């Protein structure tokens, strides 16, 4: 087991920790979404590293188990909220403000299609992680690993588009009332009070 750990991680290995986003940031929902992208990038970087190291082909060690738990919790409990924040909050508000702008509309349509692809891939990925966390072999491991690879690659590109095009457009065009409406929707989705 010790040998395996040495092979999986270099000396610089650190456990995956996703910092919670301060609730106050719901008053600045674009920055909240930006912060969530940072956390998602941590998740996909770890998934990618473990995939490359062949970690998913064998029983998980204690430290990799802890990381896979963090990944699984994010994928099961948080990613859906993030995608809905965009699909039902950010994107419609931006479309409203950029009405008639065909490029923006096309970008948002593509990103929404990718969200649907995420939802199609997620059950394969989370079922695989659930098996690993239960000390079982992943059934259809090839499909699982292909899905993880596809998810990692799609997310990388997706986040670049959102961070570099969509969020700057939103910062530029959304008004205070849009921000409040998006932030209130995000708070309600998480069953927390909108910060006063
Ligand atoms: Fe997205
Ligand atoms: Fe996003």
Mean pLDDT score of the chain:
93
At 7 the pLDDT is: 42
| pLDDT on residue 126 | 98
| pLDDT value of position 99 | 82
Q: Quick one: pLDDT at residue 13?
A: 75
Decide if 12 is inside a domain. Answer: no
The tokens for 128 are: 């695989």
Tens of pLDDT, residues 112-160: 999 999 999 999 999 999 999 999 999 999 999 999 999 999 999 999 9
Work out the angle at residue 3's Cα, subtended by the Cα atoms of residues 2 and 7, and round it to the nearest 5 degrees. 115
Position 1 scores a pLDDT of: 37
Residue 117 CA, ligand 1 centroid: distance in Å: 11
Q: Tell me whether residue 70 is in a domain.
A: yes
Question: Does any domain span residue 14?
Answer: no
Ligand with an atom nearest the CA of residue 82:
2
Answer whether residue 173 is part of any domain: yes
> Is 123 inside a domain boundary?
yes
> What's the burial of 182, exposed, middle or buried (CB within 10 Å: 0-12/13-18/19+)?
buried
Going from the Cα of 37 to the center of ligand 1, the distance in angstroms, rounded, reads 9
CB-CB neighbours of 37 under 10 Å: 18
Low-confidence stretches of the chain (pLDDT < 70) are 1-12
Distance 117 CA to ligand 2 centre (A): 14
Query: Does 9 fall in a domain?
Result: no
Residue 55 lies in a domain: yes
* Burial class of 84 by CB neighbour count within 10 A (0 to 12, 13 to 18, 19+): middle
CB 148 within 8 A of CB 125: yes
The Å distance, Cα 30 to ligand 1 centre, comes to 12
**What's the domain range around 57?**
29-189
Q: Within 13 Å, how many C-alpha atoms sit on residue 50's CB side?
A: 29
pTM of the model: 0.92
150 C-alpha vs ligand 2 centroid, how far in Å?
16
What pLDDT sits at residue 2?
Answer: 38
**CATH number for the domain that contains residue 66:** 1.20.120.520
Q: What's residue 3's pLDDT?
A: 41
Domain tally, the chain: 1
The Cα angle at residue 84 between residues 191 and 126, in degrees rounded to 5: 90
The DSSP secondary-structure symbol of 28 reads S
- The DSSP 8-state label assigned to residue 101 in this structure reads -
Q: What is the reported pLDDT for 185? A: 98
pLDDT at 53: 95
Measured N-to-C along each axis, helices 141-161 and 29-52 cross at an angle, to the nearest 10 degrees, of 150
Asked if 89 and 182 touch (Cβ cutoff 8 Å), the reply is yes
């Amino acid at each position: 087991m010790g040998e395996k750990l040495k092979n999986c991680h270099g000396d610089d290995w650190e456990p995956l920790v996703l910092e919670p986003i301060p609730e106050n940031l719901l008053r600045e929902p674009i920055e909240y979404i930006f912060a969530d992208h940072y956390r998602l990038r941590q998740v996909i970087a770890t998934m990618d590293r473990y995939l490359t190291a062949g970690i998913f082909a064998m029983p998980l060690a204690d430290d990799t188990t802890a990381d896979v738990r963090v990944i699984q919790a994010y994928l099961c409990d948080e990613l859906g909220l993030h995608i809905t924040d965009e699909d039902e909050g950010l994107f419609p508000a931006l479309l409203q403000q950029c009405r008639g702008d065909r490029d923006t509309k096309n970008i948002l349509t593509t990103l929404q299609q990718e969200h649907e692809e995420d939802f199609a891939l997620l059950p394969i990925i989370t079922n695989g992680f659930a098996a690993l966390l239960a000390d079982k072999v992943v059934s259809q491991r090839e499909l699982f690993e292909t899905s993880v690879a596809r998810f990692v690659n799609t997310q990388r590109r997706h986040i670049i588009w959102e961070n570099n095009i969509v969020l700057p457009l939103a910062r530029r065009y959304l008004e205070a009332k849009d921000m409040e409406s998006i932030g209130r929707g995000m708070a309600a989705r998480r069953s927390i009070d909108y910060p006063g």
